[in-house]
Amino acid sequence: MTTAPDTLAVRVRRGRQQRSLAHRILRSPLGAASLIYLAAVTLIAIVGPVLVPYDPMTASLQDVFAPPSPEHLLGADSAGRDVLSRLVVATSFSLLGALITVVVAAGVGIPAGLIAGYRGGWFDSLSTWIAGLLLSLPAIVVLLAARAVVGPSLWLVMGIFGVLVSPSYFRVVSSAVQAVRAELYIDAAKVAGLGDARIIGRHILSVVRAPAILMTSGIFAVGIAIQASLDFLGLGDPTMPTWGSMLSEGFRNIYRDPTLLLWPSIAIALTCVAFTLFGTSIRDELERTGDRGRARSAAPWAAPATRPAAPERHDSGHAETDPVLTVSELSVAYDDGESGWTTVVDGVSLNIAKGEIHALIGESGSGKTQTAWSILGLLPQGGSVVAGSIKFHGDELRGLDPHRLSQLRGRHIGYVPQEPLSNLDPSFTIGQQLTEPLRVVLGMNRAAARDRALQLLERVGIVDPQRTYDSYPHLISGGMAQRVLIAGAVACEPDLIIADEPTTALDVTVQAEILDLLRELQSEAGVAMLLVTHNFGVVADLADRISVMRNGSIVETGPTAELFDSPRHDYTKSLFDALLDDAPARGAWTPREVRA
Amino acid sequence: MVPRIHNSHMITFILRRLATGVAMLVTISITAFVLLNLGATDTARRLVGQTASAEIVARKAAELGLDRPLGERFFEWITAALTGDLGRSWQSGQSVVDAIATRLPVTLSLTIGAVIVSAALAIALGALAAGRRGWTDRVVQVLSVIGGAIPGFLIALILVLVFAISLRWFPATGYVRPEDSLGGWLATIALPVIALSIGAIGSVAQQVRGSMIDALRHDYVRTLRARGLPHHRVVYRHVLRNAAGPALSTLGLQFIVMFGGAVIVEQVFSLPGIGQSAVAATVVGDVPFVMGIVIVTAILVVIVNLAVDLLQGWLNPKVRLS
């Protein structure tokens, strides 16, 4: 233990990072306002008691309930004491009381958290238990009991309150130390010869900084509130003017002179709000570091400088007379705020005819799933279709009213997602999730929807439909969940199914079954399907046509047989090579020596 | 729809939580008893008056049992407490259980009223903020922070000043029992309930908002929308339901916070809850009464925590009962 964490903390606090943080806080209006207010209050607390015109405790019979006047700017109270002087002197006592709470809380919570996090074992268990105990009772009840023991001492009571809130510091510090300790053995800093204490100090500081500032300002606010409540209840020290005792005095004379209540109320409310806003604005600023994606980009999307080459087409003459889906020159981009737009799909065109299975194949990150989501109109936040058109039975979907689009989904376009279990709502039974769209979209009654859902479950090959119908998602296997999701996709008899990697998350044996099921359902109903996958094995005997996608664009497209017989694009060839090598189709082909 | 949780698991779970609760009660009893009695040396003098002779003070101390060993007195107290007897108030001689039993319903009706009001408003505001985002979200967030920062009793004072004294819409003080007049009861508890709720609304709404925004990122949200369900239905039915667990935990914590707040707010409205008598007992150092209030509060905490756990189990079919 050569360097104590405290000295590191001081050193870092003086550093550049803190200064820029202060700068950032001043830029946020609420943060700046609360900081200025708190600085003013602190100044009043320090120099005010020396400057006040009257002694805050001296009663004066002729000034009882004196109205505001040049002598008594805010008037005088029921004992003729000057309200302004009392308010100023009370500022010192109230802030000092809260400061004691913060110091005791930090003084108890931080060392205990450091030891518990570093040593673990019985000390950790015991102190965690005590922390839970301290937080379980309402503080005011404990303080009432404590007041019965220690008498009317402001400082002692605020100190005890500090102990009561110390678990907040304890919890943050001990979990931070634990996390750092767990990483310590792989930490390069250790190799570099830095001592444990120094590593822990630095790491903890970076983890703990934001919650500690938020907590400290929160405890200041609560300390002022608690101190005011105790004084208001008449449990404080009668020889000390505090905001709470002024409030109590104002409340007793509420009918006589309500303004006596006004000034301490304003002081307490503003100070509590300022501390809280100060804390939250610091936290917001610290959390925003490296996350500037909130703001909208100022510039509209512009097509990237390098345009994708036209795809290799195996059938230039192929034209659908009545396509179910026509996507042309589709581009999808994400608004990254200050850094502009990220284009994930660029110039994608594809046609899907009635009853056709069209496979969209490519490695992960090639934009297949983004294309699928944009057809459904369900791109994640920040993403949008920035160019091109999506026509469903000849009707443009891009820019369609959200309500109309919502009516198309489910009823006309079905969706089979990639990860079966995360795509079922864990809080509802399978039955509820299957019947809800039937009732909302198709307007079926409860009994009809239930019968239909059970039929669907049976159709997708679930052995005991009733049991699955009543189950929650966590009780069924991934393969079963995917069958349920397929049942959901075909429930409203759509004309088009978008299946996004429907077998990727499943075991190999289950994969084949699910593919068989998809093929059966597709041929039965003559429904068109967009099958997104990264696996050529999946598409080989399922798809009618294939589009190969790479870096957001389609590089080659054509009927399955032709594409397999004579792949033209290098990337398609490399995917075939990978398939023949029985290796997973990942990444573009690179020369062996480079790869090694 | 009640999830089917294996009965024996549920019983083990409840028993374990009860055991934790009992351990907590025992620790609190011992700590509170020892500390309160160590501080009770002056109580005998305070009760008989400053002018009383040393002999009278000693007799009073003996009468209260202050001359006997602490361990013996604790044993006596806890055996009686187990039979539901918390002793007699040193100040009034009244049975502590009776005194608390007549006052607790007032404090609890404030607390429960505030829990209901704040849950309803917080869920509505949090869901609105998470569902709409944008400026609605900003406004809800800033109001939540400000509402949570201002102490409840201060809000109570402002409400009294504005709605009871200036506008005269509500009675400023006093309490009407619900069995005497339901309308009168509602009028007397309306302002205190509002005062208690405002802080809780802020923190519960923040929690609802945060966990709904997390839940909105889940894959099933997209899939449900792909099934043709309207956005608002997915948000207010599925997302809200999945965000209910963390919100419930926060509400459980707020129950305890509001119970503490009620003790103070009662004073503002002169309601005959446990707050008034607790303050009086604190000032004179009436150990049995203060002990009684601490224990009753701790029991309430154990009950609320257990209720929250059971509700969590009911809400979340996947809850790990360990």
In sequence order, what DSSP letters do the residues of B269-312 get, joined into one string?
Answer: HT--SHHHHHHHHHHHT-HHHHHHHHHHHHHHHHHHHHHHHHHH
- Residues ≥6 apart with Cβ < 8 Å to A352: A323, A324, A325, A326, A358, A496, A528, A529, A530
Residue B18's closest CA among B258, B310, B254? B310
Q: How confident is the model at residue B118 (pLDDT cuts 50, 70, 90)?
A: very high
Q: Is the dihedral of CA A463, A447, A422, A411 positive or negative?
A: positive
Tokens of B183: 């309308």
Task: Give the residue-averaged pLDDT of A464-470.
Answer: 91
B3 touching A (Cβ < 8 Å): yes
More confident residue, B104 or A31: B104
In order of start, what are the domains of chain A with their CATH numbers? 4-48+77-287 (1.10.3720.10), 323-578 (3.40.50.300)
pLDDT score recorded for residue A139: 87
Q: Do B226 and A414 touch (CB under 8 A)?
A: yes
CA A13 to chain centre: 28
Q: What is the rounded distance in angstroms from the CA atom of residue A398 to the CA atom of residue A385?
A: 7
pLDDT score recorded for residue A167: 92
Alpha-helical (H) ranges within B84-95 are none
Kindly calculate the radius of gyration of chain B based on its CA atoms and give it in whole angstroms. Answer: 24
Q: Which of A28, A129, A136, A156 is the mutation pick for testing B, counting most B CBs within 10 A?
A: A136
More confident residue, A131 or B62: A131
- Label the pairing between strands A383-392 and A323-335: antiparallel
In this structure, chain A runs to a length of 596
Residue B115 has pLDDT above 90, yes or no: yes
Residue B11 CB-half CA count within 13 A: 3
pLDDT tens digits along A55-70: 777 777 777 777 777 7
Mean model confidence pLDDT for chain A: 81
Q: Which of A506-515, B20-29, B121-130 has the lowest mean pLDDT?
A: A506-515
- Nearest-Cα distance to chain B for A392, in Å, is 15
pLDDT score recorded for residue A581: 57
H or E, element range at A334: strand A323-335
Task: Give the residue-averaged pLDDT of A300-320.
Answer: 70
Q: Which residues, in sequence order, are bridge partners of residue A390?
A: A327
Q: How confident is the model at residue A97 (pLDDT cuts 50, 70, 90)?
A: very high
Q: Evaluate whether A176 touches A117 at the Cβ level (below 8 Å).
A: yes
pLDDT score recorded for residue A7: 39
Q: What is the rounded distance in angstroms from the CA atom of residue A582 to the CA atom of residue A152?
A: 81
Residue A103 has pLDDT above 90, yes or no: yes
Q: What is the rounded distance in angstroms from the CA atom of residue A249 to the CA atom of residue A261?
A: 8
Q: How confident is the model at residue A274 (pLDDT cuts 50, 70, 90)?
A: very high
Q: How confident is the model at residue A586 (pLDDT cuts 50, 70, 90)?
A: very low
Residue A193 has pLDDT above 70, yes or no: no
Residue A382: count of CB within 10 angstroms of its CB? 16
Q: How confident is the model at residue A524 (pLDDT cuts 50, 70, 90)?
A: confident
Residue A594 has pLDDT above 70, yes or no: no
Which chain A residues touch B224 with a CB distance below 8 Å? Answer: 425, 433
Q: How confident is the model at residue B201 (pLDDT cuts 50, 70, 90)?
A: very high
Q: Do B317 and A472 touch (CB under 8 A)?
A: yes
H or E, element range at B183: helix B182-216
Q: What is the rounded distance in angstroms from the CA atom of residue A540 to the CA atom of residue A549?
A: 16
Q: What is the rounded distance in angstroms from the CA atom of residue A83 to the CA atom of residue A62?
A: 15
- Label the pairing between strands A528-533 and A553-559: unpaired
- Nearest-Cα distance to chain A for B157, in Å, is 8
Residue A416 has pLDDT above 80, yes or no: yes
In sequence order, what DSSP letters do the residues of A534-560 get, joined into one string?
Answer: S-HHHHHTT-SEEEEEETTEEEEEEEH
Task: Give the residue-averaged pLDDT of B180-188.
Answer: 84
pLDDT tens digits along A437-449: 999 888 889 999 9
Which chain B residues touch A422 with a CB distance below 8 Å? Answer: 218-220
Residue A354 has pLDDT above 70, yes or no: yes
Residue A91 has pLDDT above 80, yes or no: yes
Residue A100 has pLDDT above 90, yes or no: yes
Task: Give the residue-averaged pLDDT of A362-367.
Answer: 84
pTM: 0.80
More confident residue, A275 or B317: A275
For residue A223, what is the nearest residue in chain B, using CA coordinates? B151
Residue B238 has pLDDT above 80, yes or no: yes
pLDDT score recorded for residue B8: 65
Q: Evaluate whether B90 touches B70 at the Cβ level (below 8 Å).
A: no
Q: Which of B30, B282, B320 is the mutation pick for testing A, counting most A CBs within 10 A?
A: B282
pLDDT score recorded for residue A593: 42
Q: How confident is the model at residue A10 (pLDDT cuts 50, 70, 90)?
A: very low
- Nearest-Cα distance to chain B for A460, in Å, is 17
Tokens of A550: 């790479």
Residue B223 has pLDDT above 60, yes or no: yes
Percent pLDDT > 70 in chain B is: 95
For residue B37, what is the nearest residue in chain A, using CA coordinates? A149
Q: Evaluate whether A390 touches A327 at the Cβ level (below 8 Å).
A: yes
Convert A18-44 into a string of H (helix), E (strand) and C (coil): HHHHHHHHHHCHHHHHHHHHHHHHHHH
pLDDT score recorded for residue A96: 92
Tokens of A543: 């798809």
Q: Do B301 and A406 touch (CB under 8 A)?
A: no
Under DSSP, the state recorded for A392 is E
Count helices and strands in chain A by DSSP H and E runs: 22, 11
Residue A330 has pLDDT above 80, yes or no: yes
Residue A43 has pLDDT above 60, yes or no: yes
Q: What is the rounded distance in angstroms from the CA atom of residue A242 to the CA atom of residue A231?
A: 8
Residue A265: count of CB within 10 angstroms of its CB? 23
Task: Give the CA distances from residue A397 to residues A388, A402, A405, in Å, rounded to whole numbers and listed in that order.
Answer: 11, 10, 7
For residue A347, give the 3-state DSSP assignment: strand
Q: Do B228 and A415 touch (CB under 8 A)?
A: no
Greatest CA separation for chain A: 109
Residue B41 has pLDDT above 70, yes or no: no
Q: How confident is the model at residue A21 (pLDDT cuts 50, 70, 90)?
A: low
Q: Which of A19-28, A112-121, A144-153, B126-135 has the lowest mean pLDDT?
A: A19-28
Residue A186 has pLDDT above 50, yes or no: no
Residue B196 has pLDDT above 70, yes or no: yes
Residue A530 has φ and ψ, to the nearest 5°, of -105, 115
Q: Evaluate whether B119 touches B251 at the Cβ level (below 8 Å).
A: yes
For residue A309, give the 3-state DSSP assignment: coil
Query: Which residue from B24, B151, B268 is facing A136, i.e. has the nearest CB?
Result: B24
pLDDT score recorded for residue A187: 56
For residue A346, give the 3-state DSSP assignment: strand
pLDDT score recorded for residue A188: 56
- Nearest-Cα distance to chain B for A423, in Å, is 4
pLDDT score recorded for residue A432: 92
Residue A68 has φ and ψ, to the nearest 5°, of -55, 135
Tokens of A110: 């931080």
Q: Which of A285-289, A314-318, B124-128 has the lowest mean pLDDT?
A: A314-318
For residue A460, give the 3-state DSSP assignment: coil
Residue A377's closest CA among A399, A350, A347? A399
For residue A144, what is the nearest residue in chain B, using CA coordinates? B282
Tokens of A178: 């634990």
Q: Evaluate whether A79 touches A65 at the Cβ level (below 8 Å).
A: no
Task: Give the residue-averaged pLDDT of A234-247.
Answer: 85
Percent pLDDT > 70 in chain A is: 86
Residue B256 has pLDDT above 60, yes or no: yes
ipTM for this prediction: 0.85
Residue A589 has pLDDT above 50, yes or no: no
Q: What is the rounded distance in angstroms from the CA atom of residue A550 to the CA atom of residue A537?
A: 18
CA B142 to chain centre: 25
Task: Give the residue-averaged pLDDT of A224-230.
Answer: 90
Query: Which residue from A265, A403, A410 is facing B158, i.e. has the nearest CB?
Result: A265
Residue A152 CB-half CA count within 13 A: 15
Q: Which of B165, B217, B220 is the mutation pick for testing A, counting most A CBs within 10 A?
A: B220
Greatest CA separation for chain B: 86
Q: What is the rounded distance in angstroms from the CA atom of residue A548 to the CA atom of residue B298?
A: 66
More confident residue, A334 or B8: A334
B154 touching A (Cβ < 8 Å): yes
Q: Evaluate whether B266 touches B110 at the Cβ level (below 8 Å).
A: yes
